Structure 1
Amino acid sequence: MSGRHPRTAWITGLLTAVAAGVMPAAPAHAVVGEDAKDGTYAFTAKLDIGGKRSCSGALVDDQWVLTAASCFADDPGQGFKIAAGAPKLKTTVTVGRTNLTASTGAVVEGVELVPRTDRDAVMVRLAKPVTGVAPVALASTAPAQGEELRVAGYGRTRDTWVPDRLHTGTFTVDSTTGTTLGLSPKSPAEAAVCKGDTGGPALRVKDDRVELAGVNSLSWQGGCLGTDASETRRGAVDTRVDDLSDWMQQFTARDLLPKAKWANADLLATGYFTGGSAGGKRHMDLIVRWSDGSVTLYQGADHDNPKYPFSAEYKLAAAGSVWKHARTMSGGSFTGSGSDGLVVRWVDGELTEYTHVDAKGFHGEKTLRPAKSKPWESAKLVTVGRYTANALRDDLIVVWDSGKVSLYSDIDTNGVGKETELTKANSTWTHAEQISAGSFTGKGTNDLLVRWSDGEGTIYPGVDAAGFHGEIKIREPKSAWTKADLVTAGAFGANTVPNDIIVRWESGSLSLYPGVDKAGTHAEVKLVG
């Protein structure tokens, strides 16, 4: 396995670190560890850095590899501090090849480095996404003393400078600090982390689940080719990664939204569809119906950086699906389970509830109102929110074509309940273009966000069955919001009040306004465009 001698900072008297290197190739017939079976741990990457160094790594996103920062240091013996940006030397990354002589996987250039400052770790952005290779999941808990980890890499073996196969070994966790893991070999007993294994993954393997718990950083290299024969120590130090999820998401999500053509987004719905409801860490998700009838779910992030509010993308419906017939959709809680569902009003007037939506699709379909039912064919705008005291089920607010506004309490699988008329038919509400439930003022019930046809933006605080209780103008008439095609509210930057607002502009750009309150919208964060 790969690595370098440990730094003196690890244990008093340890040898000075030396660079992970590349030597002339020789046939492989033995390893310091075990050959991995073809296709095993395909997410493991080999990095060639300027033809001068070789390291290992792990694909953690389709366009990002996590490895050791010291691989890119001018002098690894002096530490792992490196500059962010393009690598100084051309970096070629091979992913998905247990056997390097095979043609599977991909060979891609590494074009950007994003290093940590507190530990030997760096994210390497690839020039293009890798397809056909599943990234490895990050462990969410620290390895415990005595726990076994499977360590992998493409580094030297006992008698081969440059092996052409991935090799692995089982190591035991001897110690854990805030940023490192101390390891010793278990199986085979002669396993070691050698040059070329630096940055390779240390894996928690349990049942059918594999998680990335660390990356190779330092080792004694006992038994590795090129190491003094008198060196028998085989211990290693790995960098902990189980607490890096928030940091990694901010970079892996950078290219997430621009992949979509946002001028073609025509319906938005927000909710806690994939987890992270009240008390959880993950923020709200966003469901998008595109003009071709396809549907995408963007999973909310775990970190609080509003610039990258989503961490993953899931396709829920393909182009040309029945979803092209949806006229409105809104997310909310209907079962009290903490996992949100969706209410959809179709063009034929049918009203449908999906009790739960997740990354796999739509579940628990219930018809609340049949097709061509009166008056639902004339429902112009629909939003779901908590407008009554029922803690289990959300409510519906509907703006009709006539300008009447209605509240339907406690949506469940039996229907939409009894109507409470909040306003009679009028000319004012016919100019409402977008409505969204949100929590901006901290009232006992949700607020209602309205975008009007003249560009005015209004928040109605604490709407309930008694009606509207004042209004807060957050955008004046003839503001830039005349060009806001879609507006929705939710907790995208943090699970806090006040909520945020997302705006999709007619130009196809996308903006987020964090923490909107009675003072209005705050600094705009450009998400797309």
Structure 2
Amino acid sequence: MRVHRRVRAALFTASALVLTTASTGPALAVAGGADTAEGALPFVARLDMGDSQRSCSGVLVSPQLVLTAASCFAGADGVATTGAPPLTTTVTVGRTVPSGGAGGAVSGVGQVIRHPQRDLALARLEKAVTTVAPVAIAPSAPAAGDELILAGFGRTGTEWVPNRLKSAAFTVDTVTATGLAVTPTGSGGICKGDAGGPALRRSGDAYQLVGLHWKSNQAGCLGEATGAPLVTEARVDDVQDWVRANLPGFATGFEAADARANWVSAADTGANGHGGVTGVGGIISTVAGPELATRAEQAHSGTTALMYSGKDTSATRSYAYMKAFSLRNLTIRPSSTLSYWIFPQSVASNSNVTGANSTCVAVDLSFTDGTNLRDSGATDQNGNRAHPQHQCAKLTRDTWNEVIVPLGAVANGKTVDTLAVAYDQAAGTGGYRGYVDDLALSDVLAANHFGSGLETGETALGFTSTADSGTSPHGGLLNVGGIIGSVTGPELATRTERAYTGTTALMYSGKDNNSTKSYAYMKAFAPGSVFVRPGTRLTYRVFPQSVSSNSNVTGGNSSCVALDLIFLDQPTGAQANLRDTAVAVDRKGVRAHPGAQCGKLTLDTWNEITVDLGSAFNGKQITLIDVGYDQAAGTGGYRGYIDDIRITDSGVAASVAASLAAS
């Protein structure tokens, strides 16, 4: 695997000759190993960081998780942390020959999850790998004398930058609490580019993952040490709980740092699987209807939970399905589960409650194919149907009850639309009230909230050269015309003359006609049901042109451009934008306002922009994506390109992530 020359020298210390986590990046190929047969180890992955600045190996352990060395993601300070990767990272899996090979899958990395004590990290893929089976993690460590297969894409004894997976047999010498010392049975060794690659134990007709390449003296590697190879693998048999806890999903404890409900006391009245409201009003006369809102009155953990309430007014047909979250980026797997805690109140804890009414409540899911959870026949861990009616009197009042519903058997392959909290009871009237907390959908496939590289088959541009002329917070158009006389106004359209990936990008252009106040906010996409969560971020690439690449451009005008987002808070109806939010900054600390980007972007180069959205817009809906030019001083033409627009999410609630780190 290729590693940038300026990084190599810092990877191994002269005295210990081992891979260090304090370097600017590791790169352990299997020197002396053999070419791996096509399809023999399809789960081995290659990770390429930045513009060929760093490479590592890894292994697919779930459709969206690649396990590798944490030190592969070390930042400029030499430390790897949980969050967005410090360099844009691409993972190739399922190809013995990554570059130019057929089959397999290629995906970007949306998030890195660092193990709290060991040099291990999970790279969460933006696209699920459905054509390659993940490797199983071994349930126990190997013993001294066991034979393992080590594989990787790194340097060999004769190749500086090999483009083929190599593998070799090793024998376990010693086993410690965190590592395995191994010796090649032949001439194998571990080199730069192999870091994070797998150590595999044969189990019948399959492999089990027992370790990852961690330390090596690089003996036998081209241009490196001579002598006997010294190789240590990081153990992974004891990290399965950590891997499972970080499988893509959705979780919230309704605390300030968690995912905020997208709606408050809003009926889920959509057709095709959505429940609606019939025969239910407010629990007291001053409340207009059934409620669903966060309250700090009762909580299973933390201080806040989701309160539900209502009054059943019909003894024959009553229900209230109240929507809480839009989860349209989540798809159910065979192993997916829904879990939550519920506290149904009795008349003893709330005088407005009647009988066991508060127990006739359950969390419901509607799916994009028009089906739902309540009518699927799914049962919880106690054998009770997941329909609210079938929870009546099965839950203990004034106590926190845990409900766990396996979803795979009834919903495998279905995409979630809405998560609702529902009351449903055919017979019985009167009030009901209670709380739901620590809600989770675990082990699902999680797509990006939104993504487009403008290529065929991807989300198409929604508007062409159309100003976002709505009232504030929309941007509008002022003192900007066409870049040349034959163009009537600012442009925004797809073009194939330049692209960061593929063949197509979004071209923007215009001419600033006023030296004191000029702007042009052009509509690009209406993304639909995209709601911000704590880990949501916007990323894109922008290529601002200079006069050298377009004679109609003036100075640095083309750099005064940024994507702007329009947000809607569904509970209040209030709108906001990205550009005027002071805390919304990119990785360089520059505000996301187009005017603040002036002179900060490099002309005639693709610049990567990443902006965290969760802290300012948690729970809000993104209704528009605009491309904005904005500059107070300066006139003349501007032009450039935007590509690979993505709205991604970490998939783990902040409180959940904190508890994992603490453990």
Give the TM-score taking structure 1 as reference length.
Answer: 0.50
**What residue is the counterpart of 1:434 in the other structure?**
389
Amino acid at match of 2:129: V
- The one-character-per-residue Cα deviations of 1:443-500 (angstroms, maximum 9, x if unpaired) are xxxx723xxxxxxxxx3xxxxxxxxxxxx4579xxxxxxxxxxxx963579xxxxxxx
CA distance in 1, matches of 2:439, 2:59: 31
Query: Residue 97 of structure 2 corresponds to which residue in structure 1?
Result: 99
Q: Deviations over 1:6-44 (max 9, x none)?
A: 978xxx962354666789xxxx9x952111000111111
Between the two structures, name the one with larger relative contact order (CA 8 Å, sep ≥ 6). Answer: 2
Q: 1:469 corresponds to which residue?
A: none
Contact 1:6–1:14 under 8 Å retained in 2: no
Rounded to whole Å, the distance in 2 between the matches of 1:295 and 1:196 is 35
SS in 1 for 2:418: coil
Superposed displacement of residue 54, structure 1: 1.1
Counterpart of 2:394?
Answer: 448
Instruction: Note the C-alpha offset of 1:177.
Output: 1.9
Question: Contact conserved, 2:220 with 2:227, CA < 8 A, in 1?
Answer: yes
AA aligned to 2:16 is L
Distance, in Å, in 2 between the alignment partners of 1:433 and 1:523 is: 13
Question: What's the CA shift for 1:150?
Answer: 0.9
> Displacement of 1:295 after TM fit?
10
Q: What's 2:418 paired with?
A: 508
Q: Compared with structure 1, are the counterparts of its residues 433 and 33 closer, same or farther at alpha carbon in structure 2 (3 Å cutoff)?
A: closer
The CA distance in 1 between the partners of 2:374 and 2:420, in whole Å, is 24
Question: d(CA) in 2 for partners of 1:251 and 1:59?
Answer: 14
- Residue type matched to 1:49 in 2? M
- The corresponding residue for 2:33 is 33
1:169-188 aligned at under 5 Å gives the runs: 169-186=168-185
Q: For residues 237 and 105 of structure 1, what CA distance do their matches in structure 2 show?
A: 29
- Between the aligned partners of 1:203 and 1:105, the Cα distance in structure 2 is 20
Task: Find the counterpart in structure 2 of residue 163 from structure 1.
Answer: 162
Distance between the aligned counterparts of 2:215 and 2:242, measured in 1?
A: 23
The sequence identity of aligned pairs, in percent, is: 36
Q: Provide the C-alpha distance between the structure 1 equivalents of 2:269 and 2:235, rounded to a whole number of angstroms.
A: 38
| Structure 2 counterpart of 1:524 | 437
Distance 1:296 1:179, change over 3 A: closer
Deviation (angstroms), 1:434: 1.5
SS of equivalent to 1:117: coil
Q: CA deviation at 1:140?
A: 1.3
* TM-score normalised by structure 2 residue count: 0.41
| Match status 1:240 vs 2:242 | no
Distance 1:17 1:108 in 2: 26
Is the partner of 1:181 in helix, strand or coil?
A: strand
Q: Alignment partner of 1:508: what SS?
A: strand
Partner deviation per Cα, 1:322-364 (whole Å, 9 max, x = no partner)? x99978664689xxxxxxxx7xxxxxxxxxxxxxxxxxxxxxx
Relative distance call for 1:266 and 1:150 in structure 2 (3 A) is farther
**Cα deviations across residues 144-202 of structure 1 (Å, max 9, x unaligned)?**
2222211110011111011111011111111222221111111xx11001110000011
TM superposition shift of 1:87: 1.2
Q: What SS is found at the alignment partner of 1:448?
A: coil
2:17 is matched with which residue: 9, 15, 18? 15
Is 1:194 aligned to residue 191 of structure 2?
yes
How far off its partner does 1:511 sit? Answer: 6.9
Say which SS state the counterpart of residue 435 (structure 1) adopts: helix
Measure, in 2, the Cα distance between the counterparts of 1:148 and 1:2: 29
Structure 1 residues 90, 329: closer, same or farther in 2, change over 3 A?
closer
1:85 to 83, 86, 94: 83
* Cα distance in 1 between the residues matched to 2:189 and 2:250: 37
Q: 1:109 to 1:174 in 2, by over 3 A?
A: same
> Does 2:194 align with 1:216?
no
Shift of 1:75: 7.3
CA contact 1:511–1:526 (8 Å) conserved in 2:
no
State the distance in 1 between where 2:34 and 2:148 align. 14
Q: Which moved more, 1:102-111 or 1:60-69?
A: 102-111
Tell me how far 1:128 sits from its aligned partner.
1.4
- Alignment partner of 1:147 is 2:146: yes
Match for 1:54: what amino acid?
A: S
Q: Match of 2:189, SS?
A: coil
Q: Does 1:125 align with 2:116?
A: no
Aligned residues of 2:381 and 2:403 also touching (Cα < 8 A): no
Q: 1:266 to 1:435 in 2, by over 3 A?
A: farther
Q: Distance in 2 between matches of 1:125 and 1:22?
A: 20
SS at match of 2:95: coil
Query: 2: distance between equivalents of 1:511 and 1:214?
Result: 43
Q: Structure 2: which 5+ runs fail to align?
A: 253-258, 260-267, 276-330, 342-368, 407-415, 423-432, 442-618, 620-663
CA–CA separation in structure 1 for the residues paired with 2:170 and 2:132: 25
Give 2:358's aligned residue: none
Equivalence map 1:465-476=2 (5 Å): 472=397
Distance of 2:72 and 2:419 partners within structure 1: 38
Q: Is the 8 A contact 1:510 1:526 kept in 2?
A: no
8 Å contact 1:511–1:525 — kept in the other structure?
A: no
CA–CA separation in structure 2 for the residues paired with 1:125 and 1:179: 23
Matched position secondary structure for 1:217: strand
Could you tell me which amino acid in structure 2 is paired with residue 34 of structure 1?
A
Say yes or no: does 1:65 pair with 2:62.
no
Contact 2:113 2:123 (C-alpha < 8 Å) held by counterparts: yes
Deviation at 1:88, TM superposition (A): 1.3
Q: Which amino acid aligns with 1:149?
A: L
Q: Tell me: CA distance 1:239–1:266, structure 2 relative to 1, closer, same or farther (3 Å).
A: farther
Superimposed CA distance per residue, residues 265-286 of structure 1 (whole angstroms, 9 cap, x where no aligned partner): 789xxxxxxxxxxxxxxxxxxx
Q: CA 1:223–1:526 in structure 2 vs 1: closer, same or farther (change >3 Å)?
A: same
SS at match of 2:142: coil
Query: In 2, Cα distance between the equivalents of 1:112 and 1:526?
Result: 22
Secondary structure (helix, strand or coil) at the match of 1:42 reads coil
1:206 CA drift (Å): 2.1
Give the drift of 1:111. Answer: 2.1
State the partner residue of 2:112. Answer: 113
Matched residue count: 317
- Cα RMSD, aligned residues only: 4.8
Query: How far has the Cα of 1:83 moved from its partner?
Result: 1.6
Pair 197,75 (structure 1): closer, same or farther in 2 beyond 3 Å = farther
Cα distance in 1 between the residues matched to 2:376 and 2:31: 62
Determine the structure 1 residue equivalent to 2:601.
none
Q: Match of 2:207, SS?
A: strand
Query: For the residues of structure 2 that align with 1:70 and 1:92, how far apart are their CA atoms?
Result: 16
CA contact (8 A) 1:194 1:219 kept: yes
How far apart in 1 are the matches of 2:195 and 2:269? 41
